[in-house]
Amino acid sequence: MVDPDEGSPTPRRGSDVDEPGTSGTSGTGGSPRAAAASGTFSIGGDMTVNRLGYGTMQLTGHGVWGPPEDRVAAVAVLRRAVELGVNLFDTADSYGPHVAEELLFEALHPYPDDLVIATKAGLVRTGPGQWSPVGRPEYLRQAAEMSLRRLGLECIALFQLHRIDPEVPAEEQIGVLRELQDEGKVAHIGLSEVSVEELRLGQSVATIATVQNRYNLTDRASEDLLEVCSEEGIGFIPWFPIATGELARDGGPLADLTEQIGATAAQVALAWLLNRSQVMLPIPGTSSIEHLEENVGSVEVSLTTEQLDALDAMA
C-alpha cells in the first residue's frame, strides 16, 4: 500500500472560525507570526489553531523511511515554522517510522502553549514507500502510548486513525480511540481517508473533530465530504495540498493565472484551499526554510471572485 500523505469559492462562515487575512500578493511569508493571517479554526470547538499548518512527512528520509539527511536543518525548519505563527503540526508514528515525532520533540519541546500536535496511528511500515493498515484495538492503544512517550505529552491533542483497517470492524478501531479519549490520553479524534459513510459510522461511536483526505486543485474526489465537514464544523485537513500537476506547466492555465496574481503556483493552490471553506486546514510540508516561507506567504495572496472561479474550473 502506498500512502501519499502531504501531502463554493466563497468561504462558509461558522461560529468557530475566523476569516483569513488577505493583504495582497507581494509578501514573502517571512514576517513573524505571518501564519496567523490565515484565520483560525477551533478543533472540536475548544482548540484554536491558525488554519495554515505544517505536515512533517517530508522531514524524514527517502520513501518516508529513516532519518533526514540533515537533522539540524530539519530541526531548523520546525523552529522557523513556529516563528512564522504555525501552531498546527501534523505527524504520524509511521513517518520514519517514529522519526517525525522524535524531531518534533527535539525541536520544539517544551512546546509553546498554543501549539497543537496532531498525530496518527494505524499504518505500519516494512520498508521505504511501503505501508500496511493495522487497526487491532490493542495495537492502536500501544501506538498511542508510544506516541505520548516520543512526543513528551500527557495527552495527544488530536489523534487520528491513519487508515481504517478493512480486516477489523471500524467500530472497534474508533472505539479504542474513544476509550483513550475517556481516559484523558487523547483530547480529540480524527479520521483519515474516509468516505461520508465512514464518517457517519465514526460519529456513531465518537465525536469526530477532523478528517484528513487528499484534496487539492487537481483532486477533488472528497468534495462531498468537504461539504459535510463545512456544514457541521468538522476540520478538513487536505493532504497533498499543493499538487498542481499539468495545470502549472509552461503556458498552462495555472501558470498564466499565477503570473497575473504575482504569486507562485504553490501559494495560489494554498490560497485557493483557504478560500474554499472555513474548515479547511492545509498542512503543506517541506524540508526547506525557503519553501516554508513561500508556503506561509500564501496567506497574503488575495484572490478575486473571477480568479476563484477560474481555479474552480480547473478541476
* Residues tagged active-site: 95
Nearest alpha carbon to residue 74 among 94, 54, 60, 88: 60
Task: Record the cell numbers describing residue 260, joined without a space.
Answer: 497575473
Contact 262, 26 (CB under 8 A): yes
Task: Record the cell numbers describing residue 71, joined without a space.
Answer: 537533522
Contact 125, 117 (CB under 8 A): no
CA 238 – CA 211 distance, rounded (Å): 8
CA 100 – CA 218 distance, rounded (Å): 27
Task: Record the cell numbers describing residue 18, joined without a space.
Answer: 475566523
Residue 139: enclosing H or E segment and its boundaries? Answer: helix 137-151
Note the residue count of the chain.
315
